[in-house]
Copies of this chain bind each other. A is one copy, B any other.
Amino acid sequence: MAEQKATNVTWHHGEVSREDRYRLLRQKGATIWFTGLSGSGKSTIAVALETALFNQSKLSYRLDGDNVRLGINKNLGFSEQDRKENIRRIGEIAKLFGDAGVISLSSFISPYRADRDEVRRLHEAAKLPFVEVHVDCSLAVAEKRDPKGLYKKARAGEIKNFTGIDDPYEAPANPELHLHTDRMTLEQEVDIIIDYLKKHGIIGARHFTRAEDASEAIAAAR
């Protein structure tokens, strides 16, 4: 039957390895870690990137406030310790997704360099790609956008310790990618990330394409 042959997955006897999952998914697991001010464009880029990856048959998954802060991290507040623990847990979850073969897209302000570096170290120890993307725009631009009305509240004193207003944003010293969202289009931003993923063999490597499926199916049908 063509159905059984049209796959590049080898029959497996021992434990399934990370590399097995990579072959199955025709991609490598990785963490794309967006960091930047509220309103800088992290979520917008993550959503567009997710679509671009899907259109190339790549599996990604977004981690954001909606599914993390309201879920696993709902027992965390905004104290220094809790913000640190928030990022630590997200880093650990991203690591699990990467090990599973999924490209996770994390969109959190993650303002402190030490916390991001800890997530980076986690990934290095696990031999998983960590792509820190500085989503950069000026505070003035971010505050003008103010998509959630949070800057307004912070200026009015209704929110305390708001990044950029009364809490620092520590920009990455050496991010894998640096996107200036106040002078780039969304398409350009997504293209830069896709190019990075291809260049580093996370997507698009020859043995991950569907070409093998197609040719095997054709061969089986003949």
Cα distance A47–B15 in the bound complex, in angstroms:
6
Stoichiometry (number of copies):
2
Given known pairs A12-B51, A96-B71, A96-B93, the reply for A213 and B209 (CB within 8 Å) is no
Q: Which of A77-122 contact B (CB under 8 A)?
A: 85, 88-89, 92-93, 95-97, 99-102
Q: Is the CB of B3 within 8 A of A210?
A: yes
In the complex, residue of chain B having the shortest beta-carbon distance to the beta carbon of A2: B214
> Which among B12, B61, B85, B92 is the interface contact of A99 at CB below 8 angstroms?
B61
A140 CB, nearest partner CB in chain B, Å: 29
Q: Which of A2-32 contact B (CB under 8 A)?
A: 2-3, 5-7, 9, 11-16, 20-21, 24-25
In the complex, residue of chain B having the shortest beta-carbon distance to the beta carbon of A102: B100
A72 interface contact, C-beta 8 A = yes
A170 CB, nearest partner CB in chain B, Å: 23
- Of A52-60, A178-186, A194-202, the segment with at least 4 beta carbons within 8 Å of chain B is A52-60
Cα distance A47–B17 in the bound complex, in angstroms:
11
Q: Is the CB of A51 within 8 A of B15?
A: yes
Cα distance A21–B54 in the bound complex, in angstroms:
8
Q: Is the CB of A6 within 8 A of B72?
A: no
> Which among B12, B54, B61, B218 is the interface contact of A55 at CB below 8 angstroms?
B12
The interface of chain A, by Cβ under 8 A from chain B, is: 2-3, 5-7, 9, 11-16, 20-21, 24-25, 47, 50-51, 54-55, 57, 59-61, 63, 67, 71-72, 75, 85, 88-89, 92-93, 95-97, 99-102, 209-211, 213-215, 217-218, 220-221
